[in-house]
Structure 1
Amino acid sequence: MAVADTPNELPAAPLPLPKQSLYESSTQYKNWRFSPEQLAQSRRELNHAAVESLKKLLEQEEPGSTSSVHFLTAEEEHALVVYYARVIGSMCVRIGLSEEVEATATSYLKRFYLKNTVMDWHPMNVTITILFLATKTSNMPISLDYYVSKLPSGKTEAADVLALEFLVAQSLAFEFSVWHAHRALWGVVLDVQSIPEIDQESTKHTHSAALQHIRNSRLTDAELIYTPSQIAMACLYLADPHLAETYLSSKGSGNMLSVVQEAARMIERDGKGTDVGLVREIDLRLKTCKNPERVKGSKAYEARQAKVDAAADKKRALKATASVESRMSQDEMFGPSISLPGDTA
């Protein structure tokens, strides 16, 4: 029976993958964005684990001592971190550092305390390390000596700045690149100039006002929840709602307005920072519930230091043994070194 010829059919071409923006391929988008519920849960779990660990350490240090200790809550820890986010801004003004460095350092501080607790690492110590690191990762380095000379306490040494640098880098998963809302805002302002129905004279004032809202947003969780462009639009909306709505409409992004308004409400609500009186109270209580392993002179500190020293000694011994074995192996292969006439013993 004859089989009808069928034309050779080429396999259908695969559907093209949706184009991914540069931001969507960044580590920030993949690893440092959360929902408000995820952030709250993560902070609660971190705080609970820290308190349980500290109770054991404090009981070993002084049995029965934890009954009178009022450990910090997750909310109190966060309030202290927010206060030091504002301190970063003051330090940048004092030292003469750029908006880019300030924004980067603030992002690092928030990310660090998603992995660590203030009861282990006080934000004051972490902040001086983070800010210096941000000058390097933002490609705006300054000398360590100059940086130390500009720190307000007058008691900080160069070694103090560098002491926590590896811990900070490790906590950031060595992901130093940060996409900032102030850059996205500048892009929007430039784009606005191409829209004829917008009054160009008013945009300069609007940009300045929106930039202040951007700075306030650094005291909130906005960058851990929203994209830089969403934050930029939220700040533009706070500065000039009509301009923001007109711009979104011109771009066919009117459906984005609800997200922009949601972000704007967060920035307006939380962008004022932490009350200084509350910070003093939290910091005073922190002195009673600090990790004793970080307090010089405590039993826990000495025990931990002994372990660190023992591990270092073991590492040096293993290295020395490996070096000897390597030399012995070379002697077996090539024979011992030959002394030439005239060589001194």
Structure 2
Amino acid sequence: MNKTSLLSFVDQMYPSSSQKKYWTFRDESDLEKSRYEANRRFVLKHGANMSEEQQERFFLTPNEESLLRRQYEIQLREFCRKFQPPMPKSVAGTSFHYFKRFYLHNSVMEYHPKEILVTCVYLACKVEEFNVSISQFVGNIRGDREKASDIILNNELLLMQQLNYHLTVHNPFRPVEGFLIDIKTRCPNLKDPERLRPGMEEFLDRCLWTDACLVYSPSQLALAALLHSTSKVQENLDSYVTDTLFGGEKGADKLPGLVEAVRRIRSMAKAVEPPPRDRIRPLEKKLERCRNTIKEQEAKKNKGHRDFVDEEDELEMRAMEERNDRSARSSRQGTEECYPLQNSPGSQ
């Protein structure tokens, strides 16, 4: 393998994937724009007659939605971590991809995160070939498991549709293995490369709570994890990156961009913080109040529509019965003319 081909090798099929084409964005501002538009669509759909002040009091703002998503991403990580039987890292990574992709174009006010969360994990189990039955799966969920099964199965098709059926996800875990194998082969002076693994896995766990997977490639995430871990154990692999990975002139042109990507990924992971607890509870209540009010309004609207339809149906039914009566009388008259009844005067 030549020096400049390793990144392509560890990324494998990523450059030609749907993930690269449709779900990798230029930067975080693109993601925030999509989420803002999803929020505004929902607000305008259900609160077009409200003032801006009323909308802000009743609906979640884009920033409030962001805080709730972060809170449910923490719950998603915990659910995957405690899952039985133990879940492969690739399933957790794919679940996060699905969750983040879904809420790029949908509001948490329309689809509650606690329902989408478990559906993302269930679908990821299938796609990553981690074979668990629905009964095994919901065994990991507290509460009404039959209801949980219904929620998951009812939302599964919706989730796939919102993902545009782009279900294959390229995670950074395989590139991590590629880097470790390469380092063992080409960095003999580095003692026990396996001691880098815990730091790399911890770093990638933190990355799951960022938008890095929607902006950077799996190999860039893996390289950032590698350099983060080497700094933790007070090693230095700068020469491995500059000389071994990008030793040629062709590779040197790409080095500044890669260095900036790694710097930005490490900065994103370092900045991760859980949302303030004192803010989450009021936002949960606001979300439930908003969703319940909208459900009640839609139920009333649907009831009015059904009443109107029922009235129309009744009128149509009466008209149909009258037409049928006229048709039957006409038919009997025609039959009597062609086939006179016995004992009628004309039969004498």
TM-score where L is the length of structure 2: 0.73
Partner of 2:59: 71
| Residue in 2 that maps onto 1:281 | 282
Residue of structure 2 in register with 1:248 after alignment: 241
User: What is the SS of the residue equivalent to 1:150?
Assistant: coil
Report whether the alignment pairs 1:23 with 2:24: no
The match for 1:129 is 119
| CA deviation vs aligned residue, 1:122-171 (integer Å, no higher than 9, x gap) | 10011111111111111112111121222023454321211111111100
The answer to whether structure 1 residue 217 and structure 2 residue 204 are counterparts is no
Indicate the residue corresponding to 1:317 in structure 2: none
1:276-334 C-alpha deviation (Å, 9 max, x unpaired): 333223212212322755x3xx13135458979x9xxxxxxxxxxxxxxxxxxxxxxxx
**Aligned Cα RMSD in Å?**
2.8
- Are 1:44 and 2:36 an aligned pair? yes
Which amino acid in the other structure matches residue 173 of structure 2? H
* Corresponding residue for residue 172 of structure 1: 163
Cα deviation, 1:162-211, whole Å, max 9, x if unaligned, reads: 1111111100001100000122112111111112354132x222111111
Q: Is the 8 A contact 1:109 1:127 kept in 2?
A: yes
Q: How far apart, in 1, do the equivalents of 2:138 and 2:199 lie?
A: 33
Aligned ranges 1:1-345 → 2 under 5 Å: 22-34=13-25, 35-56=27-48, 66=54, 69-96=57-84, 97-154=87-144, 156-201=147-192, 203-241=193-231, 242-249=235-242, 250-252=244-246, 254-255=255-256, 256-270=258-272, 272-290=273-291, 292=293, 295=295, 298-301=296-299, 303-304=301-302
Unmatched 5+ stretches in structure 1? 1-18, 311-345
Q: Give, in angstroms, the shift of residue 69 of structure 1.
A: 2.9
Indicate if the aligned counterparts of 2:187 and 2:240 stay in contact, CA closer than 8 A. no
Cα gap change, 1:193 to 1:305, in 2 (>3 Å): farther
CA contact (8 A) 2:43 2:55 kept: no
Distance 1:68 1:224, change over 3 A: closer
1:148 and 1:158 in contact (8 A); partners too: yes
Distance in 2, matches of 1:266 and 1:70, equals 32
1:70 is displaced (CA, Å) by 3.9
For 1:304 and 1:24, how far apart are their aligned partners in 2?
47
The answer on whether the counterparts of 2:39 and 2:62 sit within 8 Å (CA) in structure 1 is yes
Q: Residue 251 of structure 1 aligns to which amino acid in structure 2?
A: L
How far apart, CA to CA, are the structure 2 residues paired with 1:246 and 1:190? 17
Q: Distance in 2 between matches of 1:36 and 1:251?
A: 27
Contact 1:85/1:219 (<8 A) preserved: yes
Q: Cα distance, 1:25 vs. partner?
A: 0.7
After superposition, the Cα gap between the structure-2 partners of 1:227 and 1:287, relative to the gap in structure 1 and judged at 3 Å, is same
Letter of the 1:73 counterpart: T
Distance 1:134 1:227 in 2: 19
SS in 2 for 1:219: coil
Conserved 8 A contact 2:59-2:286: yes
List runs of 5+ in structure 2 lacking aligned partners: 1-8, 310-348
TM-score, normalised to structure 1, is 0.74
1:232 Cα deviation from its structure 2 partner? 1.0
Looking at structure 2, the residues matched to 288 and 107 of structure 1 have their Cα atoms a distance apart, in angstroms, of 28
Q: Flag the structure with more relative contact order, 1 or 2, with Cα contacts below 8 A and sequence separation at least 6.
A: 2
Matched residues, number: 282
Question: Which of 1 and 2 has greater Rg?
Answer: 2
- Cα displacement string for residues 251-283 of structure 1 (whole angstroms, at most 9, x for unaligned residues): 11643222211211111112x333333322321
- Aligned partners of 1:196, 1:210: CA distance in 2, in Å? 18
Q: Counterpart amino acid of 1:269?
A: A
Change (3 A) 1:265 1:176: same
**Secondary structure of 2:274's aligned partner:** coil
Partners of 1:237 and 1:264 within 8 A in 2: no
Distance in 2 between residues matched to 1:198 and 1:301, nearest whole Å:
70
